[in-house]
């Protein structure tokens, strides 16, 4: 697997995503480019929510998005970059859901579990997609903000007002650990080796220990 080369003009978007074609004026993204990018991601998500990554074939995505294969590769230098973009959208959704209705459990651990289980339910609505995306994310050499974003979400859930900047290294490590446990349990559930209840229980067990002294 290749690391996607840095696109000359691309410098915004989620860190690690290089999915904006270079431009005369660096960093500028025209409306049509933006929409094209969006159409591509939507087409990809739609396909993936059916048959997983397998159904999300680059040729098919390009076709559905009404774009040539070469153009697709210009926006997303590899299939993985596309997957990362799709996942990014999912996390955005979770993030705004949390803003809309913050977790209200009594303890930090309880609030973190709340967030994680909400994310779990969200992802389980499209299991094929979730499965494909999570797996892909974990292996990719593309630098994804996934783990850190999730750890940050948990940090804020556990201690409202805390951010990656103000947290101690230990706190960040602990929410990071919790998020890796979550990812793993999610995968096990998607593999059919856990029920939703088992997953929840295991996450609660881990969260209780990891975030006990928050």
Residue 136 contacts which entry, DNA, a copy of itself, none (Cβ below 5-8 A, type-dependent): a copy of itself
The CB-of-165 to DNA minimum distance in angstroms stands at 34
Q: Which residues contact 170 (CB under 8 A, 6 or more apart)?
A: none
CA–CA separation, 105 and 110 (whole Å): 5
| Helix 108-124, helix 196-210: angle, nearest 10 | 150
CA–CA separation, 115 and 135 (whole Å): 20
- The string of DSSP letters for 118-161 reads HHHHHHHTSHHHHHHHHHHHHH--S--SHHHHHHHHHHHHHSTT
Using CB under 8 A, which of 56, 62, 65, 174 touches a copy of itself?
174
Residue 77 contacts which entry, a copy of itself, DNA, none (Cβ below 5-8 A, type-dependent): DNA
Q: What is the token pair recorded at 190?
A: 């998607």
Query: Binding of a copy of itself at residue 11 (CB under 8 A)?
Result: no
Residue 185 contacts which entry, a copy of itself, DNA, none (Cβ below 5-8 A, type-dependent): a copy of itself
CA–CA separation, 192 and 126 (whole Å): 15
CA–CA separation, 36 and 87 (whole Å): 18
Nearer to a copy of itself, 36 or 128 (CB): 128
Q: What is the token pair recorded at 100?
A: 């809309």
What x-and-dash track marks residues 175-194 binding a copy of itself by CB under 8 A? -xx--xx-xxx-xx--x-x-
Residues at the site binding DNA, with contacts judged by CB under 7 A: 1-2, 21-24, 30, 32-33, 36, 53-54, 56-59, 66-71, 73-75, 77-80
User: Scanning residues 15 to 74, which ones bind a copy of itself (CB under 8 A)?
Assistant: 54
Nearer to a copy of itself, 73 or 184 (CB): 184
Nearer to DNA, 76 or 214 (CB): 76
Q: Which residues contact 118 (CB under 8 A, 6 or more apart)?
A: 94, 97, 98, 103
- Residues in contact with a copy of itself, counted by CB under 8 A, come to a total of 30
Q: Which of 203, 210, 205 is CA-nearest to residue 188?
A: 203
The CB-of-40 to DNA minimum distance in angstroms stands at 10
List residues near a copy of itself by CB under 8 A: 1, 54, 135-136, 138-139, 141, 143, 147, 170, 173-174, 176-177, 180-181, 183-185, 187-188, 191, 193, 201-202, 205-206, 209-210, 212
């Amino acid at each position: 697997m290749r690391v996607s080369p840095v696109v000359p003009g691309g410098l915004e978007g989620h860190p690690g995503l290089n999915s904006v074609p270079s431009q005369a004026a660096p960093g500028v993204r025209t409306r049509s480019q933006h929409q094209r990018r969006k159409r591509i991601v939507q087409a990809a998500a739609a396909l993936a929510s059916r048959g997983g990554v397998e159904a999300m074939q680059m040729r098919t995505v390009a076709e559905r998005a009404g774009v040539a294969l070469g153009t697709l590769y210009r926006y997303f230098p590899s299939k993985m970059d596309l997957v990362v973009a799709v996942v990014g959208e999912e996390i955005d959704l979770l993030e705004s859901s949390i803003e809309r209705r913050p977790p209200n459990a009594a303890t930090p651990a309880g609030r973190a579990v709340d967030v994680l289980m909400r994310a779990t339910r969200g992802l389980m609505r499209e299991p094929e997609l979730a499965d494909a995306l999570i797996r892909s994310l974990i292996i990719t050499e593309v630098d994804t903000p996934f783990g850190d974003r999730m750890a940050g979400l948990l940090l804020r859930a556990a201690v409202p007002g805390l951010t990656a900047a103000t947290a101690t290294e230990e706190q960040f490590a602990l929410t990071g650990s919790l998020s890796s446990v979550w990812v793993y349990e999610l995968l096990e559930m998607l593999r059919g080796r856990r029920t939703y209840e088992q997953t929840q229980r295991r996450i609660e067990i881990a969260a209780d220990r990891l975030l006990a002294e928050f």
